[in-house]
Amino acid sequence: MSTFSQELLEKLATAKSVGVLTGAGISVESGIATFRGHDGIWKKFKPEELASMDAFLKNPELVWEWYEYRRQIIYKVKPNPAHFTLAEMESCYPEFTISTQNVDGLHALAGSKNILELHGNILYNRCNQCGKKFKDTGYEKGKPFQYCNCGGKIRPDVVWFGEPLPAQELEKSFNVAAKSDVYFSIGTSANVYPAAMLPVEAKLYGAYVIEINLEKTTLSGQVDVSFLGKAGEILPEMWQAVQKYKNKKISI
């Protein structure tokens, strides 16, 4: 059971604008392993050998097979209490935005609507030439490689090594950070840039910054409060405490 200060409760009870950055840690609690596959053939490859344009051009079938392996894992898991709590919080604030480094779509599945996907979405594909997006139609080994009507190759809709983050989502994320009253950093190592700068930006502009992570990060010493543990346990407790605090203020 976590203890929440009156300052934290007051900040969350009175905030008008809330921003959130989520990383792999929140999805690990749903059963999604970190970037590298841990089973079978995928142990033989480095992520850079599978998640890059060079890899895609050299061996598209191998890249597609790896992404299908990852998709099948994601299709079998469900959002956890942290995802559902964030979705509930969204309905209680005039402005609430999640910027996520995850590509699994679990925030949307939990009911969140205002989501900025900084690394794309593995459940979608897109044309490498014109950018048109396609809902994942599945992958079959040996199936002829798919091309867009424009002639471009269709690829997973994720950001690969050596590629920039989507400019629009990144710009919106920094705008959210700059105007947030409260900003969360959840399940992220704070080592992947430029996303790692979002909580720092929020703090710079006066936000009350809350970190929730399994272990300390380079961000821990810069935030207003840092909680070590599972987001799926801490965040629901925190939100319940905020509701009790608000009800108590109303009754006084």
Measuring CA to CA, which residue among 235, 208, 223 is closest to residue 8?
208
Choosing from 38, 83, 107, 119, the catalytic residue is 119
Rounded CA Rg of the chain = 19
Three-state DSSP state, 139: coil
Cβ–Cβ < 8 Å for 102, 120: no
Query: What is the C-alpha separation between 32 and 78, in angstroms, rounded?
Result: 10
H helix or E strand, kind and range, residue 81 = helix 81-90
Query: What is the C-alpha separation between 166 and 144, in angstroms, rounded?
Result: 29
- Sign of the CA dihedral running 197, 9, 86, 37: positive
Does the active-site annotation cover 119?
A: yes
List strand residue ranges (DSSP E) for the chain, in order. Answer: 17-22, 95-100, 115-117, 120-127, 133-135, 154-158, 182-186, 208-213, 225-228
Tell me the two tokens of residue 36.
Answer: 């590298």
Q: Compute how many other C-beta atoms are within 10 angstroms of the C-beta atom of residue 201.
A: 20
Q: Would you name the residues annotated as active-site residues?
A: 119
